[in-house]
C-alpha cells in the first residue's frame, strides 16, 4: 500500500487519520503539525502521498503545497479543509493537490480519496 505523510496542527486529527489509514494497510512515514515541518519531512521521507491540512501555524497548507510542488511536481497531495473553505480548496487544487477531504473526517470518504489518488499513481 502507500507510504503516507499526515500534516495537521491538531494531534487528534493526525491520530484519527493515522488510525483510518493503518487499518487500510497504509504505512505512515511521518506526521507534521505545520507546513514547514511538512516540507522538510516530504524531502526527507519522499512519501507516496501527503494528506495536508490547510489552516496551520508557522506555514499554512497552501504555502506548503507550493514548496512541495517546487521540489517535486509529481507530488500526490490530498487537502483537508473544514466546511465553508471552498475557495481555499480550489486554490490548493490549482496548485497541484489531487483530491480534498472535508473535516470532520468520514472514514469511507478518506479511503475513497486515497484510493483515487493511488490509482493515478499506478495508471
CATH of the domain at 116: 3.40.50.2300
Domain that holds residue 31: 3-122
122: Cβ contacts below 8 Å, ≥ 6 apart = none
Domains in the chain: how many in total? Answer: 1
DSSP state of 33: S
pLDDT in tens, 35-90: 999 999 999 999 999 999 988 889 999 999 999 999 999 999 999 887 656 777 77
- What secondary structure, in 3-state letters, does 17-42 show? HHHHHHHCCCEEEEEECCHHHHHHHH
Q: What is the pLDDT of residue 25?
A: 93
Number of H-type helices and E-type strands within the chain: 5, 5
Distance between CA atoms of residues 61 and 32, nearest Å: 11
Handedness of CA 73, 75, 76, 81 (dihedral sign): negative
- In 3D space, the residue among 13, 8, 21 whose CA is nearest the CA of residue 117 turns out to be 21
pLDDT in tens, 6-32: 999 999 999 999 999 999 999 999 999
DSSP state of 84: T
CB 66 within 8 A of CB 92: no
pTM of the model: 0.91
Q: What is the pLDDT of residue 90?
A: 79
Distance between CA atoms of residues 119 and 117, nearest Å: 5
Q: What is the pLDDT of residue 87?
A: 76
120 or 113: which leads in pLDDT: 113
Question: HSE of 106 in the Cβ direction (CA atoms, 13 Å)?
Answer: 9
pLDDT surpassing 90 at residue 105: no
Amino acid at each position: 500500500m502507500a507510504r503516507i505523510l499526515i500534516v495537521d496542527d491538531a494531534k487528534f486529527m493526525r491520530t484519527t487519520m493515522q488510525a483510518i489509514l493503518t487499518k487500510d494497510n497504509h504505512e505512515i512515514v511521518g506526521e507534521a503539525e505545520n507546513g514547514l515541518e511538512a516540507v522538510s519531512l516530504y524531502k526527507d521521507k519522499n512519501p507516496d502521498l501527503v494528506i495536508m491540512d490547510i489552516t496551520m501555524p508557522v506555514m499554512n497548507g497552501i504555502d506548503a503545497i507550493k514548496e512541495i510542488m517546487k521540489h517535486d511536481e509529481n507530488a500526490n497531495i490530498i487537502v483537508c479543509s473544514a466546511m465553508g473553505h471552498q475557495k481555499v480548496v480550489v486554490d490548493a487544487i490549482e496548485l497541484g493537490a489531487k483530491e480534498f477531504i472535508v473535516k470532520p473526517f468520514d472514514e469511507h470518504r478518506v479511503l475513497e480519496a486515497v484510493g483515487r489518488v493511488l490509482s493515478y499513481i499506478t495508471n
